[in-house]
Every structure is written in structure tokens, then in C-alpha cells.
A and B are shown apart, each in its own frame.
Chain A
Amino acid sequence: MTQNPDHVLDHFELFRGSEYVEMLENKKKNFENPVPDQDLERVREWTKTPEYREKNFAREALTVNPAKACQPLGAVFAAVGFESTLPFVHGSQGCVAYYRSHFSRHFKEPSSCVSSSMTEDAAVFGGLNNMVDGLANAYSMYKPKMIAVSTTCMAEVIGDDLNAFIKTSKEKGSVPMEFDVPFAHTPAFVGSHITGYDNVMLGIVKHFWGGKAGTVPKLERQENGKLNFIGGFDGYTVGNMREVKRMFDLMGVEYTILGDSSDVWDTPTDGEFRMYDGGTTLEDAALAVHAKGTISMQEFCTEKTLAYIKEWGHETASFNHPIGVGGTDKFLMEVSRITGKPIPEALARERGRLVDAIADSNAHIHGKKFALYGDPDLCLGLAGFLLELGAEPTHILSTNGGKAWEAKVRALLASSPFGANCNVYAGKDLWHMRSLLFTDPVDFLIGNTYGKYLERDTGTPLIRIGFPVFDRHHHHRRPVWGYQGGMNVLITLLDKIFDVIDASTNVPAKTDFSFDIIR
């Protein structure tokens, strides 16, 4: 018996005990009808070959281990960035259980969201009654200031009309006529979570600026010189938003963040559960129409939103999840240009410190090959930083990246000699990445938690940057934007590089000559 009351063994120790090992070997041998060892070995080795890679890349229908989620997830992300806003997802209820779990596992925070709980009868007759009852219940129970409606694929397939349903619900008294219920259709079979973010952000902006679905006059823009900022779907939103606000405050920029979920996903443990916290006030969301310009940190996450805002006469600019010196320079200079506010010395100092850190450490990164995957903008931001560090972003893969993204990555790679031997993979998944890591190995892999399977299979050390990160805690609290964020990313990269060197130089009398104290 291995278990011990004085030192209770967890699963990772317990099942290594001989009685369990033997039990599981017998289970396999006697009852599992296992694949013969030689077949297993043969196929395992075959999956590492260029031949397998070719077959793998010839896939047309099957997706294996994708690095993307569906629209409604992004819809919820965008909605909770507004003050006391309850996301309401029209469709099957299981979806909402999934989004809430997904966010709670990443942020280690509550994630409040309701469903209209459509079932078979709604599939036949439509979900109007579910909308009418659902809005009434959500409104009286959770006392939101706004309910942001989006859809699951079920509601989209049967063709429910949100605009009409919400109108009818209001007529039936589910919520007061003047209560804000912006909406967006977010079919899961189009685009990905970043599309859903874009659609809901657009829905909310349109609602406030464009006359609340025809119920009030459109706003008239009177330019006030302020700047609107949209972060996009971002696993680091807690740290990043705070960093962006700090930089804006240093510059004296008057700004409105559209969709600020940095408080609702970082509430204190002090005896009170805050279902809502922080977020863009509804008043500010409306007043944002008067801003001089609107900038988005993630181009591919806000394509429709930014295009709409541009129609209002805003000066618009978008970035690609900028990380590092050049990306942050471009971001700050653009903010300065639009607002007319100079970049203060304090930020120049921060810039200098990041450059200083890169100068100190770049020898350890120079020439190292990285594979990376994630959302399209994040990939661009990370690849830009790697090039800046003298690293080679050898494989850049985005399951939800398209042709425009691919072209943009190619242009980025062409801009640096370190991009010469690098490749971009739009619309591919992590099973494609597995082949790449076997046939064209790299030194490090950058990606979300699911990269750990690639790390295990291919031996490529994983650096966790992305969404979701379930198996490491609190990363989302640290910014990756701004010079300070660049510093965080640099340290993250270096820590892994040094850890890997230490772990491979620690065999006494064999490899320990490089087990250095000073680096």
C-alpha cells in the first residue's frame, strides 16, 4: 500500500506505486486488446516523418486540435467589458456553461452570463418565448444596466431574428422600453471568437451611436479631441488594460476604453461577490461618438467595428497586438499624432530600459528558432518582437488567420533578415504544427496551454503566451503591451531559455561543465 496519512500522495505519485503499475499493465494486457508494441512504435515513428507531414497537410475536411474557439465566446468577452452588462446568449444553454467555464479556467474568476435555454420545441417554433421570458428573468434577477444579446449556432440555423425578438420582448414588458439591449448575430460556423468579439463590439457601438435600433435619433457627432481605445479579445486584458491606461495617463491623453473587462475579471476576495465590476460606462460608450479618433490594438479582431466607426468621421488606426520596442513605438507615436499629446520623458525612459534589457540579454536569444501559434494579431505582435530580438520566428501558425493575415505576416518577415527562413500557416491547426516541429524542428514553441501536448510529443520547450492558459496561474495579470509588457515577455522568454540550458546541463561528471552560475 502506498497511500499514507502523514504524507498524502496525490494522483501523480499514487499511481506510480507498484501495485497500480502492475494492475494497469494487467488491465491493458488482458482486456484492452492493445495495439502490438511494434505497430505502436512503427506508427509513432511514422508520424514524425516528412511523408506523414505531407499527408497531414493534405487534409481537407478534418480539423485536429485547432487554436481557435467559436464566435459566441468572443461575444461574451466583448459584452462584459461594459458597466453592469449581462451577456445573454440566445440559443442552447450548454454553450453558455462552456463559455463561463472556459473564462473561469483562464482568469480564475467568476464569469456571469445567461442563456435563453432553447430546447427542441424552440427548434421547431423559434425562440421568441425564450427571449421574452429570458430577458424578463435576467432583468429582475441580476439587475443589469444593459443586456447584450448574442446567439449560438442553434438560433442562427433556425434563423431567429434578434432585432424583432427584442422589440417584441420590450412590448411584452420583459424589460423597460428604454432599457439598453444591444445585440449581434454571432454564428459559430462563421469565423472564430475574434469575429464574435468584433460583432458584439459593433453591435454595442451601433446601438449607442446609431439610434438604438431605430428607437431614438442617431447621435450627432461633435468632435471633442478624445481618443477611443479597443483592446480586442485578449487573454492578458487585465494586465494590458491597466498598462494602457497608465500610459495614456502619463501622456495626458483623454480616452475612453470601449470594452474594459480588466476589473470584472480581476475582482478582490474581500467577502463580496461582484457580479459586475468596472467596465465602460454606458454614458461613456455613447459619448465615445464625439472622439477624434478610435484605435484598436487588434486589427483582425475589430475589422467591422473600426470600419463602422470610420464612417462616423473618426480617424482610425489599428495595430497587431504590439509587443516590444518597435510595436510600442508605433502605437505611442500614433496615439501622439492623433491626440496631439507628446510622448513624455517617462515613457522614453521606459523604452530605454527595455532596449537596455534587450542589449543585456539578446545574445541568449539571437538566432534561436521559435514556432508560435495563436490569434492572428497576437502572432504578428510576437513575431515582430522576436525579429527585434534577433530570433527567428520559424513557424507562425494561426487557425483563425486568413489570407490578409498571411500576407501581413509575409511582409513582416520580409522586413527583417531574421525572417528569411520563416513560414506562415493560415488556417492550420496544432496537428499540422506537430508535423512541422518534427520535420523542421525549432528551439522553442510559443503558444497557449494546449501547446503542452506538442511539447510532450516533440520535446520542444513550450513558452506559454496566448489564450487560454489554464495550467499556469495569474499570467493574465501581467501586461504584455507597452514597454513594461515587452519587458515581461522578454523575461518570460529568457527564463525558459535558461531553465532549458540548466535542465540539459545537470548530469554530474557528464554535462555539468556548462551548469553556470553567471550568464
Chain B
Amino acid sequence: MSLAVAETVEEIKARNKELIDEVLKVYPDKTAKRRAKHLGTFEEGKTDCGVKSNIKSIPGVMTIRGCAYAGSKGVVWGPIKDMIHISHGPVGCGQYSWAARRNYYIGTTGVDTFVTMQFTSDFQEKDIVFGGDKKLAKIMDEIQVLFPLNKGITVQSECPIGLIGDDIEAVSKAKSKEYGGKTIVPVRCEGFRGVSQSLGHHIANDTIRDWVFDKQAGKPARFESTPYDVAIIGDYNIGGDAWSSRILLEEMGLRVIAQWSGDGSIAELEATPKAKLNVLHCYRSMNYISRHMEEKYGIPWVEYNFFGPSKIAESLRKIAGHFDDKIKEGAERVIEKYQALMAGVLAKYRPRLEGKKVMLFVGGLRPRHVIGAYEDLGMEVVGTGYEFGHNDDYQRTTHYVKDGTLIYDDVTGYEFEKFVEKVQPDLVGSGIKEKYVFQKMGVPFRQMHSWDYSGPYHGYDGFAIFARDMDMAINSPVWALTKTPWK
């Protein structure tokens, strides 16, 4: 049974149903009932993908999800480069997430920039028993002595903090006062909160609202505003994604006053309420703060997608639609400028990738956003799902997926393995935990969180790399070697 040879959409749908019924058999009844709600097939014309989402993962099933701490420290706050982010609690969380996400930045690490460092309160038993507030206060003092050029501190709570009743808000306020109003942000992103990384994004967004924006109230901007000021929201600059996006916005005549949060700085966070438009890439992780800025400061926001030339052009025009003719012309000029590059990339790679089938399982915006880039290359996404998406993500996904696409929310290790085994895609795009499982099976794979340490994938410059990487994965000679010839 393989979808790869299925002819009609109806056949595909029937097979998906059969496949889902088959994987559900492995579960105890109660679990099968719960998991059934997360697996389905997209039906053309529906307003969502027909699956439940943002629900607790089931114990013991090998979910791929992370935690709220990962969403706050690992995603939203960690890349803010001139602040020091304390992993507050035992040593592990900070250790495993230390420099693991490749949020590129420019700066002198350890002196005025701190992204790829691991600051931890390294909790010991006595800190659990007696509380960690005094230790936290002392840590802040030590940071002030040893890292005097830091522009602020955040406290990224690990599980024990909320369980032992520490008052990190009080410590943060007191120390902020002591250090002349320094920005010190307590973040209640304990890993047990919520059902995935997602709540960590939300909590982190809220702390920016409460501890950064509110402090700025009434203060003037550090620069003179222009009608063309925008902020990039929700680009973590993995492999330089935000840079290959920013360049396009600037080329079309906009001025990017802030990057959230890849290669971002506290000054940029503070300046963002002065933007005329927030352009939002990762809706999932930063829609909260975008909505807040819309309500409080009247700043409109627009979602965009910079994966692949079709979506880039569409997005540039959509963003330009918020401005005058000068910017609209600028968008056309940018699209034109890169036309030859895109034609060259497609001429080279599309013939090598045409008709190849892809299955995705990623976080944030990627389970839908990258589909257009694959389609630009003549490839087809036959299955997709979100690690920590909500229903509004699945609604947005309907604009991207084809009728009959297999949908799997918070997929378990077992389900994903079986789906790939039966659907036999030419490429799987997911994370580090999945990579080697599928490569062992002889299925080409690309990490679609970290770009497999490549990138950028955003923007026109990034698309060339994306196309090259997908070709490299699928057409590598290694896949011809996996079968032992004498067996």
C-alpha cells in the first residue's frame, strides 16, 4: 500500500483512512479514542483540517513536543542578544538548549552579546528546600559585576520555580530598582505549564508587554520615525533567515526598525510600538504581541511567507499594499530584480525534483509555510502536521494543502514511522529526533527546524539554498547504497 502510486484523490482518502485505522490499533482503547481526533485527511472546502489540536500529549506515546521553557527561552527570549537570559533552576534545561538553535547574530559574545552562552542558577537540593530567591538576587549582582555591558536580564523559570513558591517577580523588581531601572524580566515559563512550547511563547509575549513596553510608556523613540517603518515579528534568524528577509523589505523601500527576535536587541523591542506595520512571519509564536500592539498602539499587522518565489512575491505585494505607490513600485522592483536568480534556481533544480512527494512534521508556521516553496520546485506535500499548532494554524493550513493531504497533529513516534513507511514519500522534513529514524529507513530527510545546519531558507537568497538542499537530500547517491546487494 503506497500513496505514491495512488491515482485519484478518492483513493488517497480511502487509503489515509485505512492507514489511520491501522495505526490506532496499536493503542489501548482510551488512547486510540484520544489520538483519533488528531489524525485525519484534509477535505477540500472545509475551514480547517478536521483534527483537534493544542491538547495535552498522552503519556508514554513519544510525543515530539517540548515545553513552555523551550518556547520562552529557546524561541522568544533567547535570541535577544544584548540581554542575559538566566535558565533558572537545575542545570539541564539550559545545557540542552545551549546554542542549539542557531539564532545568528552579530556581536562580541561574552562582552556585549550573550546568545550562545549558558547562564544557569544550577539549582542544588538546598535551593529546592529553602527557595532560590536569594540565590537569584545574588546571581543578578554577579552578572552586573562580570557582564557590565548587558542591557537587561530575563529569568527563564524551569519546572521547580513554580512548584516551590519562589517570588521571582519580587526579586526582579527589587533588583531593577537597585540598578537604576534596569530591565529585568521574570518569566513564568515552567516546563509543566500548558501542553507544549506554545504556552511558553504566549507567556514570553506577555512579559514583553508587561516588562518592556509598559516601561517605555511616554518615552520618545531613539530615532526619527518615517512613514515606512516596519518591524519583523516572529523570525528567529535561524541560519540568517531574518537577514535574507530584511534585505528584501529594505530593498522595496521600507525601514526595518526591529527584528523579533533573531539578532534582536532590547532597543529594538522597545522601539517596536513606533512601527507603522508589524510584519509577522511566525504567527504561532508571536501573534499575541502583534494583537496587543494593534489594540494598544493601533499598529496593524500582516502575516507573510518568505518561502519560495511564489509566496515571496505574493507577500511582498501584500505588505506593499499597506503603503503608498512608492513601496508598491518597490515591491515590483524587488520581484523583478530576483527574477533571473529564481529562474536560474528553478531551471537547475526543478527538473531534478519534479513530482517528488514530501511529508512534513514541524512546529510554528512551517507545516504550511514551506508548502509553496516545495510546489515552486514541482514537489507535492502529501502529509503535514503541527507539533504545537492551534486550530487557527489548521485553519490557515487549508489555504496551502491539497485535497486528501494526510494530517497528523502532535504525531507520536510510532504513528509517524508507520505513516512514512506506508506513504513512502521521497522526502521527510522534520526535526533532529526524527531525522535518523527515517534515514535508517532509507528515506531522504531534511531537518526543517534547524535547516539541517544550513540556511537561510527565507527570501530569494534563501530559496536558492533551500532548493539546493532538497536536491542534495533526495538525489544523494547514498540512498542507492542502503540495500545490501547480496541479500
Contact A189 B128, beta carbon cutoff 8 Å: yes
> Interface-forming stretch among B10-18, B159-167, B285-293, B308-316?
B159-167
Q: Decide: A97 and B104 in contact? CB cutoff 8 A.
A: no
Stretch in A119-127, A414-422, A480-488 with 4+ CB within 8 Å of B: A119-127
A112 within 8 Å of B (CB atoms): yes
Across the interface, which residues of B come within 8 angstroms of A24, CB to CB?
106, 243
Interface centre among B142, B194, B442 (most CB of A within 10 A): B142
- Known interface pairs A40-B111, A104-B432, A115-B63. Does A92 touch B142 (Cβ–Cβ under 8 Å)? no
Chain B residues near A362: list those with CB within 8 A: none
- Binary interface encoding of chain B residues 209-239 relative to chain A, with 1 for a CB under 8 A from any of its CBs, else 0: 0000000000000110000000000000001
Say yes or no: A189-B124 contact (C-beta < 8 A), given A28-B106, A32-B265: yes
Q: Which residues of B contact A330 (CB under 8 A)?
A: none
B122 and A154 contact, CB distance less than 8 A:
no
Q: With A92-B191, A112-B62, A269-B482 in contact, do A98 and B93 touch (Cβ < 8 Å)?
A: yes
Given A47-B111, A119-B193: A104 and B60 within 8 A (CB)? no
**From B347, B441, B455, contact of A11 by CB (8 A):** B455
Say whether A68 faces chain B, with CB atoms less than 8 Å apart. Answer: yes
Query: Are the CB atoms of B160 and A271 closer together than 8 Å?
Result: no
Residues of B near A187 (CB, < 8 A) are 125
Specify which chain B residues have a CB less than 8 angstroms from the CB of A19 in the assembled complex: 247
Candidates B100, B348, B413; contact of A112 at CB < 8 Å: B413
* Interface residue ranges of B59-75 to A (CB < 8 Å): 59-70
Q: Is B422 part of the contact surface with A, judged by Cβ < 8 Å?
A: no
Residues in B179-195 with C-beta less than 8 Å from chain A: 191-195
Which residue of chain A has the shortest Cβ distance to B161 in the bound complex? A157
For A92, the chain B residues whose CB sits under 8 A away are 67, 159, 191-192
B322 at the interface (CB under 8 A from A): no
Binary interface encoding of chain B residues 83-107 relative to chain A, with 1 for a CB under 8 A from any of its CBs, else 0 = 0000001111101111110001010
Q: Is B323 an interface residue, CB under 8 A from the partner? A: no
Within 8 Å by CB of B163, from A140, A154, A274, lies A154
Chain A residues near B435 (CB, 8 Å)? 104
CB distance from A270 to the nearest CB of B (A): 6
Contact with B along A453-490 (1 / 0, CB 8 A): 10001000000000000000000000000000000000
Is A515 in contact with chain B by the CB < 8 A criterion?
no
Q: Most chain-A Cβ atoms within 10 A of its Cβ — which of B31, B122, B454, B484?
A: B122
The reply to whether A434 and B95 contact each other, CB–CB distance below 8 Å, is no
**Cβ-based interface call for A360 (8 A):** no
Stretch of A53-61, A253-261, A284-292, A379-387 with 4 or more beta carbons under 8 angstroms from chain B? A53-61
A73 and chain B: residue at smallest CB distance: B92
- Report the separation of the CA atoms of residues A134 and B63 in the bound assembly, to the nearest whole angstrom: 12
Residues of B contacting A372 in the complex (Cβ-Cβ under 8 angstroms):
none
A138 nearest CB across to chain B (Å): 4
Interchain CB contact under 8 A, A109 and B436: yes
Q: How far is the CB of B142 from chain A (nearest CB, A)?
A: 4
Check B91 against A94 for contact (C-beta < 8 Å): no
Q: Are B222 and A273 in contact (CB under 8 A)?
A: no
Q: Pick from B27, B56, B464: contact of A5, CB below 8 A.
A: B464
Cross-interface CB contact of A120 among B70, B138, B193, cutoff 8 Å: B193
Bound complex: CA A188 to CA B93 (Å): 10
Decide if A450 touches B417 in the complex (CB within 8 Å).
Answer: no
Question: Within 8 Å CB of A9, what residues of B?
Answer: 461, 464-465
Verify B58–A137 contact, CB threshold 8 A: yes
Interface assignment of B345: CB less than 8 Å from any CB of chain A: yes
Cross-chain contact B27 with A137 (CB below 8 angstroms): yes
Given A28-B106, A61-B139, A93-B65, A111-B27 contact (CB < 8 Å): no
A77 interface residue, CB < 8 Å from B? Answer: no
Q: B258: CB under 8 A from chain A?
A: yes
User: With A93-B67, A94-B69, A154-B159 known to touch, is A119 a contact of B194 (CB < 8 Å)?
Assistant: yes
| Chain A nearest Cβ from B482, distance in angstroms | 5
| Closest CB in chain A relative to B447 CB, distance in Å | 10
* B121 within 8 Å of A (CB atoms): yes
Of chain A, the residue at the smallest CB distance from B271 is: A31
**Which residues, 96 to 114 on A, are CB-close (under 8 Å) to B?**
97-102, 104-105, 108-114
Most buried by A among B82, B160, B263, B435: B160
Q: Closest A-chain residue to B449, C-beta based?
A: A101
* A154-197 to B contact mask, C-beta < 8 Å, 1/0: 10011000000000000000000000000000011110100000
User: Does B9 make an interface contact (CB < 8 A)?
Assistant: no
- Whether A503 sits at the interface, judged by CB under 8 Å, is no
Once bound together, how far apart are the Cα atoms of A8 and B460, in whole Å?
12
B residues within 8 A CB of A15?
104, 240, 243
CB of A95 within 8 A of chain B? Answer: yes
In the bound complex, residues from chain B placing their C-beta under 8 Å from that of A157 are 128, 159-160, 163-164
Interface residues on A, range: 35 or more
Is the Cβ of A11 less than 8 Å from the Cβ of B158?
no
A14 touches B433 (CB 8 A): no
Q: Which of A64, A115, A131 is close to B119, meaning CB atoms less than 8 Å apart?
A: A64
Given A23-B247, A133-B31, A135-B60, is A63 in contact with B122 using a C-beta cutoff of 8 Å?
Answer: yes
Q: Which of B59, B62, B110, B136 contacts A434 (CB 8 A)?
A: B110
Residues of A within 8 A of B464 (CB): 3-5, 8-9
In the bound complex, do residue B160 and residue A453 qualify as a contact, i.e. CB atoms below 8 Å apart? Answer: no
Question: Pick the contact of A8 from B26, B465, B484 — CB < 8 Å?
Answer: B465
Task: Give Cα A489–Cα B250 distance, bound, in whole angstroms.
Answer: 51
Is there contact, CB below 8 Å, between A33 and B222? yes
Give the chain B neighbours of A119 by CB distance below 8 A. 56, 192-195
Which of A101, A130, A133, A142 is B432 in contact with, Cβ under 8 Å?
A101
Contact with A along B339-364 (1 / 0, CB 8 A): 00100110110000000000000000
Known: A31-B268, A97-B64, A137-B59. A450 touches B98 (CB 8 A): yes
| B2 contacts the other chain (CB 8 A) | no
Please report which residues of chain B, range 404-445, place their CB below 8 angstroms from some CB of chain A when the two chains form the complex: 412-414, 417, 431-433, 435-442
The yes or no answer to A367 lying at the interface (CB within 8 A) is no
Min CB gap A78→B, angstroms: 16
Chain A positions within 8 Å of B344 at CB level: 4-6
Judged by a CB distance under 8 angstroms, whether B244 is at the interface is yes
Q: Does B468 contact A (CB under 8 A)?
A: yes
Instruction: Give the complex CA separation of A434 and B146 in angstroms.
Output: 13
Residues of A within 8 A of B67 (CB): 92-95, 97
Residues of A within 8 A of B70 (CB): 94, 97-98
Q: Is B135 an interface residue (CB 8 A)?
A: yes
Cα distance A98–B73 when bound, in Å?
13
Partner among B89, B104, B433 whose Cβ is within 8 Å of the Cβ of A110: B433
Q: Does B43 contact A (CB under 8 A)?
A: no
Q: Is A69 an interface residue (CB 8 A)?
A: yes
- A189-B60 contact in complex given A11-B240, A47-B110, C-beta closer than 8 Å: no
- Alpha-carbon distance A491/B456, docked complex (angstroms): 36
CB-CB < 8 A to A62: which residues of B?
Answer: 119, 121, 138-139, 142-143, 146
Q: Does B117 lie at the interface of the complex (its beta carbon under 8 Å from any beta carbon of A)?
A: yes
Contact B112 A35 (CB under 8 A): yes
Interface residues of A in 417-468 (CB under 8 A from B): 431, 434, 450, 453, 457
Residues of B in contact with A (beta carbons under 8 Å apart): 26-28, 30-31, 56-70, 82, 89-93, 95-100, 104, 106, 108-112, 116-125, 127-128, 135-136, 138-139, 142-143, 145-146, 148-149, 151, 158-160, 162-164, 191-195, 197, 222-223, 239-240, 243-244, 246-247, 250, 256-259, 263, 265-268, 271, 337-338, 341, 344-345, 347-348, 412-414, 417, 431-433, 435-442, 454-456, 460-461, 464-465, 467-468, 478, 482-484
Please name 7 further chain A to chain B contacts, defined as beta carbons within 8 Å, in addition to the given A44-B108, A154-B160, A154-B192, sorted by A numbering: A14-B240, A24-B106, A64-B146, A110-B440, A112-B413, A117-B58, A274-B440
What are the 9 A-B residue pairs with the smallest beta carbon separation, nearest first? A94-B67, A70-B92, A134-B59, A134-B60, A5-B344, A98-B96, A33-B267, A137-B60, A188-B90
17 A-B contact pairs sorted by A residue (CB < 8 Å): A4-B341, A11-B104, A24-B106, A31-B223, A34-B112, A39-B149, A60-B138, A60-B142, A65-B118, A68-B91, A91-B159, A98-B66, A105-B432, A115-B62, A116-B60, A120-B193, A434-B110
